[in-house]
Amino acid sequence: MSDTTSEPWVPEPAPRAPRFEERELPLCPACKGLARRDILALTNEGQQFGPWRCDLHGEVTPVWEYLEIPTGDDA
């Protein structure tokens, strides 16, 4: 005999996975920190950039790797 006074079973909602965007970023080959470039000039042809630099290692030739970046979308 079943218990008819209990409430019907309702499944719990699944936890939401965080949202990520995959981007290719320039990284320092020594420490894998983000490499940056300064804008040296703006011309009619476009922007002219300086060399890639790491905050710890100075001027570097970056390696490009795909990383998952959180998007911050909670919708």
pLDDT, tens only, 19-45: 888 889 999 999 999 999 998 888 888
What confidence tier does 14 reach under pLDDT thresholds 50, 70, 90? confident
Which residue, among 22, 40, 31, 18, has the nearest Cα to 62 in the 3D structure?
31
Rounded to 5°, the CA angle 63-68-54 comes to: 35
Give the global pTM.
Answer: 0.60
Structure tokens, 55: 């905050």
Average pLDDT value over all residues in the chain: 84
- HSE of 64, CA atoms in CB hemisphere, 13 A: 3
Whether residue 1 is predicted with pLDDT greater than 70 in this model: the reply is: no
**Partners of residue 64 on adjacent β-strands:** 26
